[in-house]
């Protein structure tokens, strides 16, 4: 059931992202008098997309608990996250405090001794749904942020969906 729902949510997000892309492209060539209307349409699309984005990560989080992540693969992803959060922290002025605080919290969980990297990574995946809420409040594109800053982590997600 959740696999079917995940597929449906992914399709909805793909459609919203395509619409957003089209509107943003249109915005670059639209006469000045129409720009405000298109900006409102973009804001509406982002608002409509938010519940699907949150549900997507909640479904991924639920599925992550039952999958096996190799320790080697997890170590690479954990190292990437720790490294990138450090870089983001140095350039903290570009991200809102709420986003930075959640990222630091995630990094601190990853740095705790005693658990395997795979177990820590599953904990990170379960931290993503709250991040989505914060990112929308901060008008941060969650998917783009994760792709840009945590590409290895994002590449791991399709494996979670298949299992």
pLDDT digits (tens, 9 = 90+) for 149-158: 888 888 887 7
42 or 122, greater pLDDT: 42
Angle between helices 97-111 and 117-137 (to 10 degrees): 180
Segment 87-110 shows an average pLDDT of 82
Containing structural domain, residue 110: 2-162
Segment 110-130 shows an average pLDDT of 83
Left if phi > 0, otherwise alpha if psi is -120 to 50, otherwise beta: which for 114? left
Domain count, the chain: 1
pLDDT digit string, tens, across residues 125-163: 877 877 777 777 777 777 788 888 888 888 887 766 655
Q: What is the pLDDT of residue 93?
A: 65
CA-based angle 152:156:162, to the nearest 5?
Answer: 160
DSSP annotation of 30 reads: S
Predicted model pTM: 0.78
- Provide the pLDDT confidence category of residue 40 given band limits of 50, 70 and 90: very high
Cα–Cα dist 27/116, whole Å: 47
Largest CA distance in the chain: 59
45 closest CA partner among 18, 10, 8:
18
């Amino acid at each position: 059931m959740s696999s079917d729902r995940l597929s449906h949510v992914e399709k909805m997000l793909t459609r919203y992202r395509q619409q957003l892309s089209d509107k943003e492209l249109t915005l670059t060539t639209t006469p000045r008098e129409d720009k405000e209307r298109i900006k409102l349409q973009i804001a509406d699309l982002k608002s409509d997309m938010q519940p699907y984005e949150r549900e997507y990560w909640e479904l991924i989080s639920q599925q992550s608990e039952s999958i096996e992540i190799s320790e080697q693969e997890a170590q690479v992803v954990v190292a990437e996250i720790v490294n990138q959060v450090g870089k983001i922290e140095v350039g903290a002025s570009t991200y809102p405090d709420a986003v930075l605080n959640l990222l630091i919290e995630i990094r601190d969980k990853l740095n705790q001794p005693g658990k395997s990297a795979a177990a820590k990574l599953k904990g990170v995946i379960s931290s993503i749904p709250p991040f989505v809420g914060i990112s929308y409040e901060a008008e941060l594109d969650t998917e783009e942020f994760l792709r840009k800053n945590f590409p290895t982590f994002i590449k791991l997600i399709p494996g979670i969906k298949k299992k």
